[in-house]
Amino acid sequence: MKITIYTDGSSRGNPGPGGWAAILITENEVIELGGAEDHTTNNRMELMGAIKGLKEIGPHMHVEEVEVCTDSEYVKKGITEWINGWKAKGWKNSLKKDVLNRDLWEELDHEEARLKEAGINMKWTYVPGHAGVALNERADVIATSCADSVIEKGATNLQLYRGPKVHYEYL
């Protein structure tokens, strides 16, 4: 089975209140996830969306391939191009400065390694943001609604979907 995950992150101010989203699509099911933090950055929320999406995948799901679709070049390039160099250099970037968001990069790296060790093929795909890709747009709505819920000091009125793929309105 293949799982496709659309992720997004948002912050109202950078730093400021933030939200993340992940939408997992399997052959038969769709799972929407979202969360918020009081004081964060957009990049941290982009990373959290990917981390939370991958964490949702358990051994009971019998997955062969995971494709993570993100509108964050920071996330895609970080996990596919930069991370091995950062680790080799003691988590220093090309300017010999500490890598920002190291804690989340390590967590994302751990989740990807966990899935690869289970024999799951990983693919990371960049999708342009705000370009009419329905699932990316839905992830953006979830992430920004979660960020706004922090500002409003309450739960968002947004309902997250978990159910049959055939009933999911954004496909």
Determine how many CB atoms are found less than 10 A away from the CB of residue 67: 15
18, 32, 37, 46: which is the annotated catalytic residue? Answer: 46
| C-alpha–C-alpha distance, residues 119 and 116, integer Å | 5
| C-alpha–C-alpha distance, residues 13 and 16, integer Å | 4
For the chain, give the number of residues.
Answer: 171
32, 37, 71, 111: which is the annotated catalytic residue? Answer: 71
Question: Known catalytic residue: 8?
Answer: yes
Question: Known catalytic residue: 38?
Answer: no
How is residue 141 written in tokens? 């709505």
8, 32, 37, 112: which is the annotated catalytic residue? Answer: 8
130, 132, 154, 169: which is the annotated catalytic residue? Answer: 130
Question: How does 95-129 read in b/e, with b if 16+ C-beta sit within 10 Å?
Answer: eeeebebeebbebbbebbeebeeeebebebeebee
Question: Known catalytic residue: 9?
Answer: yes
Q: Using DSSP bridges, classify how beta strands 162-164 and 16-25 pair: parallel, antiparallel or unpaired.
A: unpaired
Question: Known catalytic residue: 46?
Answer: yes
Describe the chain by its helix, strand, coil percentages, rounded to 5: 40, 30, 30
Containing 27, the helix (H) or strand (E) segment is none
32, 37, 112, 140: which is the annotated catalytic residue? Answer: 140
9, 19, 34, 78: which is the annotated catalytic residue? Answer: 9
Which residues are designated catalytic?
Answer: 8-9, 46, 71, 130, 140
